[in-house]
Chain A
Amino acid sequence: MTDRSTEEATADRPLLEVEDLRTYFYTDRGTVRAVDGVSVSVSAGETVCLVGESGAGKSVTAESITRLIDTPPGDISGTIRFKGRDLTEASERELQSVRGDEIAHVFQNPGEALNPVYTAGRQVAEVLKIHTDLGKAARRERAVDLLDRVGLPNPGTVADTYPHELSGGQKQRVCLAIALAGEPDLLVVDEPTTALDVTVQAGILALLADLQSEFGMAILFVTHDLGVVAQVADEVVVLYAGKVMERGPVEKIFHGAGHPYTRALLACLPGRGGARQSIGGEPPSALDPPDGCRFAPRCAYAVGECHRGGHPDLVPVDGASDHVASCLFHQSGFDRSHIEGDPPEGGDALALDDGDTFARSDDNESPEDEP
């Protein structure tokens, strides 16, 4: 992979560096700030998860990287450096050579991502036609190879089938084969298993891990499923209303979350046992985000300060530079113990639901998870 990188780029810099990304959509009803100042970096061979509720800006962030968003109505600003190159400055032509070759995407719904009138093999071969010099026969052979690599039994037969003849899991594997055809350095997968059954999901996740160790790809993984995050991520970025709430190694996010939003999200997870809690309320409108911290209107710990000014900056949690959260209470001059105990009674936030009636015992539960 390094042989394709430019000289100075990769040594100690991340493969992808997104800084202060803002993707706005100008609509009749006003400006939708889908992504509002997000910074993410992905190093070679690493898996970074973007998590959040729907509407948090996960997919728009992922799609802004290779400008899959139509502009207009979209407007992308900020810097996106990939292997030292600034993609925000790149022409459409340059981007086309990056897409599918160096950065490949896999989307949530494989049924819609595949073209119903071409065979699976032909769709894989198409990428090879664009990005390689292989002849027709060689492309076909390589396509069958790739279909085998993504764990499709009987790849020769699958190559000649049309998408409607395949199951959802098989279609997603075909999409993966298409994505791998260009031997990308970065694979952007957007909810790749959300539409699939849990057994099929397990297979796809295992395959992604295999492929990553074999090809050394970096993966930017968009999902709302924290269970999946726990299993695949090295690094987690928690998004809410277009802002980064918290960023850090997966271990610290699950066992030492610094932002009340992250903790609230973890507390919603079904099947963890113990008293499950709801966040309450609704995410804010991207047309008219609230002043102060975007999460403040739903936060059980919010105080007056939280509702003023802009969204708080990301500051280190516990002084560790690899783990940052954008909560006021981690800034100097604030008492972080405020957000560590139980939420104060009668705060201006919505009361948390009483979870007692759903308490179920669970052997795997670690008590320190609960805020």
Chain B
Amino acid sequence: MSDDDPLLAARDLKNHYPVTEGPFRREVGSVRAVDGVSFTLDRGETLGLVGESGCGKSTTARTLLGLEEPTGGQVRFDGEVVFDGDAGTGVTGERRKRFRRDAQIVFQDPTSTFDPRMTVGESVTEPLRIHGLADREHRREVGEDLLVRVGLDTEDYDRYPHAFSGGQRQRLALARALILNPRLLVADEPVSALDAAVTSEILSLLADLQADLGLALVVISHDLRVVREVCDRVAVMYLGEIVEVSPTEDLFADPRHPYTRALLSAIPEPDPNVRSNPVELSGTVPSAANPPSGCRFHTRCPSVIQPASVDLDQETWRRVVDLRVTLAEGIDADALVRVHAEADESESDLTDRQVRRALRAEFDLPEPIDDEAVEEAVTDALDAVARGDEERALDRLAAACTTPCEEHAPALRSVGDGREVACHLHHPPDGVEIDGDGESAASRGDD
């Protein structure tokens, strides 16, 4: 329990939700909301957790604090194991209560987190009562102090939540979280329900409080601009996994993972003279119940690696992979034919040729594709689709166009300067060669 230990350490944290079916709730699979997340947080440090909705940020937070039991992995707080998902144990009794005191959370929606029938004073000081401070007067004293500290008035103590604006309620939520003098505060989307003007006030307050109280802070947000304001380090999550961890300014200056690049490039530039140039991602986020094999981002990654046998320009290669991904999800070829039909064609002459042409048009594939083996596979596959044999089409494409990214899952590994990335472009798996060095390949499609 030395001071060199990080305050909080998560190792291979997992939280899977069972998917059940039928009258006996037979388990048929699981949603892997958090799937092997590891990180550490030092005393007084601020870590940002970012990613798109559904990537598992909030579940990670809830699991860290024990609001949900992890289904695997371990959480250590101050050197002590507080949850062990593998063994299904954790601290209990008095020690557990102490952890609950030391680690607090603030939620996104400050409206639904207050009981409308309790005065805000009662709500804010309730944790004190629960943790054994029985003296009402003393509680009031502490509560009023804290209200002032978060920028409200002592008179507010006896008012009800409806009398406060969203920003003020978020201040109240902060007061309630801080009243037990925690050492760790998790803020789950603390400003996403607020206006820009109020957002900046709350962020200022958070940073002030942290500096004054020496809190360790985990800020969860889908908005990278928010994270940039307050965090020392940022962890980027995608589909239940961390794909990159880096000091904040390094991450913004030089994102290493293609997903991080895409996220950053999608932030609209607040200057009409600077045109945003977002990296386009293919498709949508896959389901966490059935995540893609290998690197989970390969179904959308603009830098997805070509197998040694293929030599195409990256964009065409991406579109070939898109074709394969979409076929695997199922495709309505007839509708595509009609969409891409030329004006003078009637529906009656829906031919195989038309299906092939429609699919090529839909995926913007040149004819022929620059690589003979790929061209052959694509032609065969499109023929198979036209015949309605999609399985055959998929097999054909899999044989010629399997990317190393789907065969090997990349681990989160150091790339120096306190940065970690989980991407084959930075650490190619054995036997895979990357054109040029990984760096330049990773930044492809960035301009």
Q: Interface on A for B, CB 8 Å cutoff?
A: 53-54, 141, 144-145, 148, 153-157, 159-160, 167-170, 197-203, 205-206, 224-228, 230-231, 233, 250-251, 254-255, 264-266, 268-272, 276-280, 282, 353, 355, 357-358, 360-361, 364, 366, 369
Q: Is B339 within 8 A of A282, CB to CB?
A: no
Residue positions of B touching A, CB distance < 8 A:
52-53, 165, 167, 195-201, 203-204, 207-208, 211, 222-226, 228-230, 249, 262-263, 265-276, 278, 280-281, 283-285, 326, 329-336, 338-339, 362
CB-CB under 8 A from A160, the residues of chain B are 332
- B interface majority secondary structure: helix
Asked if B224 and A153 sit within 8 Å, CB to CB, the answer is no
Residue in A156, A251, A268, A360 whose CB lies within 8 Å of B200? A268
Alpha-carbon separation in the docked complex, A229 to B278 (Å): 16
Q: Are A269 and B270 in contact (CB under 8 A)?
A: yes
Closest chain A CB from B197 CB (angstroms): 5
Complex: how many Å from CA A228 to CA B225? 13
Residue of A nearest to B340 (CB): A148
Can you add 15 more A-B contacts, CB < 8 Å, to A157-B332, A231-B269? A144-B335, A154-B329, A197-B52, A198-B52, A206-B280, A226-B196, A227-B269, A230-B268, A266-B270, A268-B196, A270-B199, A270-B203, A278-B204, A282-B165, A360-B228
Q: Would A231 and B275 be within 8 Å (CB), given that A268-B196, A269-B196 are in contact?
A: yes
Q: Are B197 and A278 in contact (CB under 8 A)?
A: yes
Cβ B266 vs Cβ A198 within 8 A: yes
Residues of A within 8 A of B280 (CB): 202-203, 206
In whole angstroms, how far apart are the Cα atoms of A271 and B266 in the complex? 13
Once A and B bind, how many residue pairs between them come within 8 Å at the CB atom? 171
> What is the interface of chain A mostly: helix, strand, loop, or mixed?
helix
Contact, CB under 8 Å: A154 / B284 = no
For residue B285, which residues in chain A have a CB less than 8 angstroms away from its CB?
167
Pair B196/A225 contact, Cβ less than 8 Å: yes
B267 touching A198, Cβ below 8 Å:
yes
Distance in Å: Cβ of B146 to nearest Cβ of chain A: 19
A34 to chain B, nearest CB (A): 16
Residue among B53, B165, B224 making CB contact with A271, cutoff 8 Å: B224
Q: Tell whether, in the assembled complex, residue A199 and residue B200 are in contact, meaning their CB atoms are under 8 Å apart.
A: no
Does A360 contact B284, Cβ atoms closer than 8 Å? no
Give the distance in Å from the alpha carbon of A170 to the alpha carbon of B285 in the complex: 11
Whether the pair B200, A270 counts as a contact (CB closer than 8 A) is yes
Q: Are B207 and A226 in contact (CB under 8 A)?
A: no
Cross-chain contact B335 with A202 (CB below 8 angstroms): no
A349 to B222, CA, bound (A): 33
Out of B165, B268, B283, name the residue touching A205 (CB < 8 Å). B268
A264–B53 CA distance with the chains assembled, in angstroms: 30
**Looking at A148, A250, A266, A355, which has the most chain B CB atoms within 10 Å of its CB?**
A148
Are A157 and B335 touching (Cβ within 8 A)? yes
Question: 22 A-B pairs, CB-CB below 8 angstroms?
Answer: A154-B335, A155-B336, A156-B333, A156-B334, A198-B223, A199-B266, A202-B278, A203-B278, A203-B280, A206-B278, A224-B195, A224-B196, A225-B196, A228-B268, A231-B269, A251-B272, A254-B273, A266-B270, A269-B200, A358-B207, A360-B228, A366-B271
**CA distance in complex: A200, B268 (Å):** 12
A170 near B284 (CB under 8 angstroms)?
Answer: yes
A200: chain B residues at CB < 8 Å are 52
Q: Chain A residues with Cβ under 8 A from B267's Cβ?
A: 198, 227, 271
With A278-B197, A278-B201: A270-B228 Cβ-Cβ less than 8 Å: yes
Interface residue from B52, B222, B331 paired with A157 (Cβ < 8 Å) = B331
B167 cross-chain contacts in A, Cβ below 8 A:
282
Does A156 contact B335, Cβ atoms closer than 8 Å? yes
Output the nearest chain B residue to A197 by Cβ-Cβ distance. B52
Q: Determine if B266 and A226 form an interchain contact, defined as CB atoms under 8 angstroms apart.
A: no
Chain A contacts of B336 at CB under 8 A? 148, 154-156
Which A residues touch B272, using CB under 8 A?
A: 230-231, 233, 250-251, 254-255
A272, A277, A278, A357: which has the most chain B beta carbons within 10 Å? A278
Bound together, the chains give a CA A269 to CA B200 distance in angstroms of 7
List of A residues within 8 angstroms of B269 by Cβ: 227, 230-231, 364
Question: Which residues in B have their C-beta under 8 angstroms from that of A231?
Answer: 268-269, 272, 275-276
Indicate if the CB atoms of B266 and A156 lie closer than 8 Å: no
CB pair B332 A360 closer than 8 Å: no
List chain A residues, Cβ under 8 A from B281.
199
Q: Provide the residues of chain A in CB contact with B229, threshold 8 Å.
A: 270-271, 276, 358, 360
Contact A357 B208 (CB under 8 A): yes
Contacts of A282 in B (CB 8 A): 165, 167
Q: How far is the CB of B300 from chain A (nearest CB, A)?
A: 9
**Separation of A200 and B285 alpha carbons in the complex (Å):** 10
A204 CB → nearest B CB, Å:
11
**In whole Å, how far is B424's beta carbon from the nearest beta carbon of chain A?**
21
Contacts of A353 in B (CB 8 A): 201, 204
Which listed residue, B199, B204, B284, touches A167 by the CB 8 Å rule? B284
Q: B residues within 8 A CB of A277? A: 200
Considering the complex of A and B, which 3 residue pairs feature the smallest CB-CB distances, nearest first?
A: A156-B335, A156-B332, A271-B225
State how many angstroms separate the Cβ of A249 from the closest Cβ of chain B: 9
A268: chain B residues within 8 A (beta carbon): 196-197, 199-200
Residues A198 and B197 in contact, CB atoms below 8 Å apart:
no
Residues of A within 8 Å of B52, CB to CB, are: 197-200
| B329 proximity list for chain A (CB < 8 A) | 154
Closest chain B residue to A206, Cβ basis: B278
Q: How far is the CB of B447 from chain A (nearest CB, A)?
A: 16
Complex Cα spacing A170 to B226, Å = 25
Q: Which residues of B contact A270 (CB under 8 A)?
A: 196, 199-200, 203, 223, 225-226, 228-229
Does A364 lie within 8 Å of B271, measured CB to CB? yes
Give bound CA distance, A254 to B268, whole Å: 14
User: In the docked arrangement, what's the CA distance between A250 and B336, Å?
Assistant: 40
For the complex, what is the distance from the CA of A3 to the CA of B196, rounded to whole Å?
Answer: 42
Bound Cα distance A159, B336 (Å): 12
Which residue of the partner chain A has the closest CB to B334?
Answer: A156
Q: Please, which residues of chain B bring their CB within 8 A of the CB of A154?
A: 326, 329-332, 335-336
Nearest neighbor of A279 in chain B, beta-carbon distance:
B197
Q: In chain A, what residue has the closest Cβ to B262?
A: A199
